[in-house]
Amino acid sequence: MPRRSIAILGFANLSNRPQDAWLSTALSDWYCTELAAGEQLRIVSPTVLKELRGEAVPGPDGLNAADLERIRRVLGVDLVLSGSYAKLNSDASGPMRIDLRIQDTQNGDTIFATSASGNQAHLFELVSGTGKALRAKIEVPDVTHEQAEQIAATLPSDPVAERLYAEGVAQLRASDFSTARDLLLKAVAAAPQDPMPHAALASAWEQLGYDGNAESESKRALDLSSHLSRADRLLLLANYNEAARNWSGAIQTYSALFTFFPDDLNQGLQLANAQVIGGRWIDAIATLNVLRHLPAPSSNDPRIDWQECRAVRSLGNMKEAANWCVKAAQKARASGALLIEARALLDEAIALRNIDNSEPVLKLAQDAGQLFARAHDQQGMASTTDFLASIAEHRGDYEEAEEGFKRALTVYQGIEYQPGISGMHDNLGELYLHVGNASGALGQFNEALATYRKIGEQDGVALAESGLGDVYRVTGQHAKATASYKDSIEICKQTGNRNREADALAGLSKELWIEGDLSGAYQGISQAKAMFQGLGEGLKSLELAPELAGILLDEHRTVDSVKVATDAATALHRLNEVSDEAAANLALADAFLAENRLSDAQKAFAVVQLLSGQIHDRQLIWWIEITAARLTAASGKKDRVHTAESELRITSTQATSASYVNTALTARLYLNEIQISTDDTGSIPAQLSSLEKEASNGGFGLIAHEAAADLASRQHNPRSSSKGHL
């Protein structure tokens, strides 16, 4: 049988003095604790109120019937407690008055109203006394002596800590986590033996991304919790397990809480959230199905559908995930829950991004950003800006992407959100790598790595290491590239992040390809593609197709190379992935050239030319220039051959200047091959020999092998092989 439920809506500050504002938070939390004692009532927490209702505090006369009906419809509560307070003078410990009102949400009646006066110095006694009267009126047994001690243990024992704690909690709920941290650090210093300031400080650290600090403070709160109620102790244990990334422990604890309070939607949602993050997606869906059988309106809460979106997306079903987000957004919109609607819209865009790249995706993200702005959620706004910038990057608009990433970085820096800061450095590093700025990319990835290490974020360390591996790979620092990729893979195996493990494995495979280990490269790329597909990351899987086609070509499996490139080009065209579609068609042109199908190669390259105006990826542009020169030289006309030679010299010089060593060597290899057919002086063998030696000494095994083969065969026509490892 569900328990009666009550929401504490807040207290109006009738004194209108800013220095007294903290009392609103303190009184709300203290009455929550007072009425929760004995577990006879289901309390709707202030955090949930903010998510589903906003932050408005009722006036002294309470709420009208329409407001009460909406609260009943949205929150599913039977009663609401609101009130006001007034300091009677400016003395910090002086007299004050509290007015309380309980209203019935079903009929709008005020069933109890009372006032009490006392000194602020004895505020706990004032709350306890009025709480006793409230309990009597709503026919809830009075607290026992043991429960009274448990209530007292949740409140800061020092008056200064009392105020600082309440101010810090208020800033947490306002999403100003850096200010909350500073206030709560002072509260902890003033009352180091009180558990709740430590717990709140842990939450602030977590929201700022300092996982190590959050774990430490969570442990301290747990160690000091022996005098708290069973429910409070379990909640602190769950928080500690979350901070320690012990998801099995968190799931076990939230499961116990949900078993004790099966009518509490929020306990069930916390369990589902831990199951999603902990990789127990099927279990999460089962938990959410249980929540759908709760009495209305709890069963229709939009957060249930939103969590289902996250669980289903983790299972790889992006279309179903998007559908759940649509349902969540519709329900949130109907109830006025801006934050839930914004999150659902953004997650819908993320899900659709993996199966489509159309205007609706952009519109969803833009709408989410507007809602985050209305809700004053800066972190949500930055996340949306980041997402939109990533879309711009994928379509090759690097100027817009760079601007977006920098805007998001500025917001994250302003709110001191470390994961966001490091994430934007990562994104900028990847962007600079695309535009040919290897040194800039190296700086960004090192910034990201330093921040991730500072906050103890191992998944982030793995991401930054993988990015550094990419820089080292294109600049020819093979040992460093291999070490970075392997470090990333090892961390991902420990953390269970399969997505990032696949990214790092793909990078390592490209490095093996450059070094000439075709078998290892093929195996690694194939495994990374399969991992992405298993995770529902269809686009990421397709992005590896050009590399796979190139490896197959170097293994002389030309027919397979043509098929892989053709299938990828078709799929990427449907997704409007300009750069990746161009890369797939370039791989297809290489494969056709290997089969001496010049006409087909030219057709594939014509598609690239149509897309080239939208491409700003410097590595891809160099590859386009190399392929264009090869096709030009394939005509056999002397003037066109000279033009091709000139184009390859320019490409080689540009790539060398940018330190993209493999690209420069590839351009030189094709230049030498073209010159074989026109060499009257006999200088080409010496150039090929020099290239072979340079590539071999530099660890570019595949290019060294191809140069040696060219030198041995001295063919009179350009060789047709992939050899383009960008």
Rounded percentage of the chain residues whose pLDDT exceeds 70: 94
Which of 16-30, 187-201, 471-485 is predicted least confidently? 16-30
Taking every pair of C-alpha atoms in the chain, what is the biggest distance, in angstroms? 107
pLDDT for 651 equals 95
pLDDT tens, residue by residue, 319-363: 899 999 999 999 999 888 889 999 999 999 999 887 765 678 999
pLDDT for 425 equals 97
pLDDT tens, residue by residue, 540-575: 999 999 999 999 999 999 999 999 999 999 999 988
Higher pLDDT among residues 409 and 133, named by residue: 409
- Strands in 110-119's sheet, in edge-to-edge order, are 42-44, 5-13, 79-87, 95-104, 110-119
Instruction: For residues 385 and 464, give the distance between their C-alpha atoms in angstroms, rounded to a whole number.
Output: 21
Query: To which residue do tokens 């320690």 refer?
Result: 244
Of 79, 114, 111, nearest in space to 98 by CA: 114
Instruction: For residues 311 and 314, give the distance between their C-alpha atoms in angstroms, rounded to a whole number.
Output: 5
Instruction: For residues 705 and 719, give the distance between their C-alpha atoms in angstroms, rounded to a whole number.
Output: 13
If you write DSSP's letter for every residue of 287-319 in order, what string do you get?
Answer: HHHHHTTSSTTGGG-HHHHHHHHHHHHHTT-HH
Is-contact 395 576, C-beta < 8 A?
Answer: yes
pLDDT tens, residue by residue, 469-512: 999 999 999 999 999 999 999 999 998 889 999 999 999 999 99
pLDDT for 715 equals 45
pLDDT for 293 equals 94
Q: How far apart are the first and last CA of the chain?
A: 65
Query: What's the chain's average pLDDT?
Result: 89
pLDDT tens, residue by residue, 137-154: 888 888 888 888 888 888
Phi–psi pair at 142, nearest 5 degrees: -65, 160
Taking 70 as the threshold, does the pLDDT of residue 716 lie above it? no
- Strands 42-44, 79-87: pairing kind: unpaired
Rounded percentage of the chain residues whose pLDDT exceeds 90: 56
Instruction: Compute the average pLDDT of residues 213-231.
Output: 93
Query: To which residue do tokens 């060789």 refer?
Result: 719
Claim: this prediction has a pTM higher than 0.85: no
pLDDT band at residue 717 under the 50/70/90 scheme = very low
262: how many CB neighbours lie within 10 A of its CB? 13
pLDDT for 61 equals 64
Alpha-carbon distances, residue 106 vs 64, 78, 111, 130, 212 (angstroms): 12, 7, 12, 24, 46
pLDDT for 224 equals 95
Instruction: Compute the average pLDDT of residues 648-653.
Output: 95
Instruction: Compute the average pLDDT of residues 531-548.
Output: 91
Instruction: For residues 439 and 432, give the distance between their C-alpha atoms in angstroms, rounded to a whole number.
Output: 8
Six token digits for residue 416: 């001191």
Chain center to CA of 228? 35
Domains of the chain, CATH where assigned: 1-155 (3.40.50.10070), 280-527 (1.25.40.10)
pLDDT for 714 equals 60
Of 160, 161, 165, 201, nearest in space to 181 by CA: 201
Is-contact 509 521, C-beta < 8 A?
Answer: yes
User: 166 - beta bridge partners?
Assistant: none
pLDDT band at residue 466 under the 50/70/90 scheme = very high
Instruction: For residues 330 and 310, give the distance between their C-alpha atoms in angstroms, rounded to a whole number.
Output: 17
Higher pLDDT among residues 703 and 16, named by residue: 703
Instruction: Compute the average pLDDT of residues 21-29.
Output: 88
Q: Which helix (H) or strand (E) holds 85?
A: strand 79-87
Return the C-alpha torsion angle 520, 471, 476, 617, nearest 10. Answer: 90
pLDDT tens, residue by residue, 654-668: 999 999 999 999 999
pLDDT tens, residue by residue, 390-400: 988 877 788 89
Residues 6+ apart with CB under 8 A from 273: 284, 307
Q: 585: exposed, middle or buried (C-beta count within 10 Å: 0-12, 13-18, 19+)?
A: buried
